[in-house]
């Protein structure tokens, strides 16, 4: 399973993560060669997220119907074309189209891996296996920092994309020749696909509760780390290029280790009867606090809040394990695709929107003022707070009801009430035979 299923899809996800975060390294060279301002830089980086998000639902349907092996190979061939076009581009339009093709080509990398894990691995270990895959995939973010900076200084960004074209072809061949086809009962699969639709996902009360929080936090983390962390470190912190790359390298290591840590903690929480939703809420609260520390310029090393920002990007380990609990595996790829649509859609909004907001202030000597970043980051953080409150409403409602009971009951009865606060049970829209218990 590790050699024929896990590692091939982990390699595909590694490529996806590398292409996602490489713009932080190549943006200065692209801005210099093509005269890009903050708005165009944000659009070039974020078009990846826009195309990625738009492809999630169709890819989810294809993965559930045809399996992860065939779908992933076809998509990676598109990424090969995108990388080749990007590396030979003569203008901004060609860069944009190449970047969009890359986004489409690697759009199924994570979902294909998750579908393979749900298909071949035991359900009770999904959070842990997801953590391992996301940890290995996020090594792509590490490679896109200091190692990529060395390569850029040695061969330039055009030759780098020639290398990436060859690597993508190799990974596609690896998946095609090594990964087996799952053994499925065609009649049962057809019956399941007929009764379970995307509406089963989007109408599920549990999905509607976690999706806004997961999207606003994880999507913002991806958008900031993959592009705007470097300009912040240059314009606000005043770091030179080598120092920026070292800090981005540390952040990338953080997200890789966080994936393994969150997967392990979620696995242990699950064995003790503690739901993964609790861990997701804690991570989201820490993320908001880290962003507030950045915005208010708290007197502490910027590496501390930025490390928290990067760690939240690995919280997909938690979100996807919850989705695996909510829906049967016949619907797994579409359910993950629905959540991924929100993740990457929000990443596009934050990445491009941040560039638009920052561009409202004039640059001085190639640097934008601190207040521009504070306003842009603050708008995103405010929406995360709203999503966290929405996620916590059932718990807050239960706490309020129990407080009313406490003050209404005689003091002698308070002892029996202690410790009775629990999260309420939300009924899924799926029928009982298809759904999982909350």
- Please name each of the domains of the chain with its CATH number: 2-178+198-408 (1.20.1250.20)
Please tell me the total number of residues recorded for the chain in this structure: 438
pTM score > 0.85 for this model?
Answer: no
- Paired with 338 in beta bridges are none
The per-residue pLDDT for 409 is 61
Whether the CB-CB separation of 9 and 311 falls below 8 Å is answered with no
The per-residue pLDDT for 398 is 78
d(CA 310, CA 220): 10
User: Mean pLDDT, 10 residues at a time, over the chain (438 residues)?
Assistant: 88 91 84 84 84 87 88 95 93 92 92 87 79 85 85 91 95 92 56 61 88 94 87 90 86 84 86 88 95 94 91 88 82 83 89 90 88 95 95 82 72 46 45 40
d(CA 192, CA 305): 45
d(CA 119, CA 62): 15
d(CA 218, CA 238): 27
All residues at 6 or more sequence positions from 176 whose CB lies less than 8 Å from its CB, including other chains:
69, 73
The per-residue pLDDT for 282 is 94
d(CA 214, CA 388): 9
367 φ, ψ (degrees, to nearest 5)? -125, 140
CA 129 to chain centre: 16
d(CA 155, CA 160): 7
Instruction: Using alpha carbons, select from 218, 260, 21 the residue that is nearest to residue 133.
Output: 260
- How big is the chain by its Cα radius of gyration, in Å? 22
Count of alpha carbons within 13 angstroms of residue 420, beta-carbon side: 13
Go through 363-392 and write b for each residue having 16 or more CB atoms within 10 A of its CB, e for each that does not. eeeeebeeebbebbbeebbebbeebbebbb
Write the Ramachandran bin of 363: left for phi over 0, alpha for psi from -120 to 50, otherwise beta: beta
DSSP structural state of residue 1: -
Per DSSP, helices labelled H in 67-145 are: 68-87, 92-105, 109-120, 126-137, 139-143
All residues at 6 or more sequence positions from 245 whose CB lies less than 8 Å from its CB, including other chains:
25, 145, 146, 149
d(CA 283, CA 155): 40
| Residue 100 burial (10 A CB sphere; 0-12, 13-18, 19+) | buried
d(CA 240, CA 124): 46
Place of tokens 């999706």: 211
CA 184 to chain centre: 29
């Amino acid at each position: 399973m590790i050699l024929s299923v896990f590692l091939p899809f982990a390699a595909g996800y590694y490529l996806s993560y590398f292409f996602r975060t490489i713009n932080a390294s190549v943006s200065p060279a692209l801005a210099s060669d093509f005269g890009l301002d903050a708005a165009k830089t944000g659009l070039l980086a974020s078009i990846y997220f826009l195309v990625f998000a738009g492809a999630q639902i169709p890819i989810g349907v294809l993965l559930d119907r045809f399996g992860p092996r065939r779908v992933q190979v076809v998509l990676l061939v598109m990424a090969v074309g995108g990388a080749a076009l990007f590396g030979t581009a003569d203008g901004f339009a060609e860069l944009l189209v190449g970047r969009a093709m890359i986004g489409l080509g690697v759009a199924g990398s994570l979902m294909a891996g998750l579908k393979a894990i749900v298909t071949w691995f035991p359900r009770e270990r999904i959070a842990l296996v997801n953590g391992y895959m996301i940890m290995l995939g996020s090594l792509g973010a590490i490679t896109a920092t200091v190692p990529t900076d060395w390569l850029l200084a040695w061969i330039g960004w055009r030759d780098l994309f020639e290398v990436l074209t060859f690597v993508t072809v190799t990974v596609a061949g690896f998946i095609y020749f090594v990964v087996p086809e799952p053994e499925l009962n065609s009649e049962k699969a057809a019956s399941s696909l007929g009764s379970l639709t995307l509406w089963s996902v989007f109408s599920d009360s549990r999905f509607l509760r976690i999706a806004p929080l997961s999207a606003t936090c994880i999507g913002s983390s991806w958008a900031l780390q993959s592009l705007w962390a470097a300009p912040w470190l240059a314009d606000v912190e005043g770091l030179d290029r080598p120092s920026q790359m070292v800090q981005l390298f540390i952040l990338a290591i953080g997200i890789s280790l966080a994936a393994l840590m969150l997967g392990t903690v979620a696995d242990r929480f699950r064995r003790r009867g503690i739901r993964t939703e609790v861990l997701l809420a804690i991570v989201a609260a820490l993320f908001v606090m880290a962003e507030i520390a950045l915005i208010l310029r708290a007197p502490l090393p910027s590496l501390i809040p930025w490390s928290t920002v990067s760690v939240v990007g690995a919280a997909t380990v938690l979100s996807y394990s919850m989705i695996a609990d909510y829906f049967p595996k016949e619907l797994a790829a579409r359910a993950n695709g629905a959540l991924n649509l929100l993740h990457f859609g929000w990443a596009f909004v934050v990445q491009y929107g941040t560039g638009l907001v920052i561009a409202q202030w004039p640059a001085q000597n190639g640097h934008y003022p601190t207040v521009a970043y504070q306003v842009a980051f603050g708008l995103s953080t405010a929406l995360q707070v709203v999503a966290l409150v929405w996620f916590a409403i059932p718990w807050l409602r239960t706490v309020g009801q129990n407080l009313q009971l406490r003050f209404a009951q005689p003091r002698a009865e308070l002892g029996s009430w202690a410790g009775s606060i629990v999260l309420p049970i939300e009924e899924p829209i799926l029928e009982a035979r298809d759904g999982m218990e909350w």
